[in-house]
Amino acid sequence: MTAGSDGYPLGDLNWFGKDVVKAWENGWPMPVIERTGESADLSLMNYPNPFSSVTTIAYNLPTSSDVIMKIFDVTGAEVATLVNENQIAGQHERMFDSAHLSGGIYFCQIKAGSAFQVHKMTLIK
């Protein structure tokens, strides 16, 4: 191996930090790292908003959990399910293509473990 600019061999995990290296060495799927100074809340937003066809929905999970994300119209009818799986803590994004929908107000609902949030999105056609 050759050394990277940090002095560690290329491919070495040490630059990830001791917790990540320990998890990797022990074969753990994800290290448990205490986070300080970060929001411990579920967060949800989309951009651009308003949008004309495709928008990116960004969300932060404070802990690993089962996540369900659905889109509803103003009548409460479900128009899409974007996520229905277990996900690790951290930042995530999903694209939402509204080509089949008419313009108006839509609501993105996310449930992650016991946390729940709804975000209003405006589709302009």
What is the per-residue pLDDT for 98? 94
**Residue holding tokens 């996310």?**
110
Q: What superfamily in CATH does domain 43-123 come from?
A: Macroglobulin (MG2) domain (2.60.40.1930)
What is the per-residue pLDDT for 69? 96
What is the per-residue pLDDT for 114? 87
What is the per-residue pLDDT for 45? 93
What is the per-residue pLDDT for 99? 92
Q: What is the pLDDT along the chain (125 residues), one digit of tens a residue?
A: 455 555 555 555 555 566 666 666 776 655 554 444 444 588 899 999 999 999 999 999 988 999 999 999 998 999 999 999 999 988 999 999 999 999 999 999 999 988 889 999 999 98
- Long-range contacts (CB closer than 8 Å, 24 or more residues apart) made by 101-108: 101/73, 104/73, 104/74, 105/73, 105/74, 106/71, 106/72, 106/73, 106/74, 106/79, 107/71, 107/72, 107/73, 107/74, 108/44, 108/46, 108/57, 108/69, 108/70, 108/71, 108/82
Which of 31, 20, 121 has its CA nearest to residue 70?
Answer: 121
In single-letter form, the type of residue at position 115 comes to: A
**Residue holding tokens 């404070």?**
62
Where are the domains positioned within the chain?
Answer: 1-33, 43-123
What is the per-residue pLDDT for 36? 45
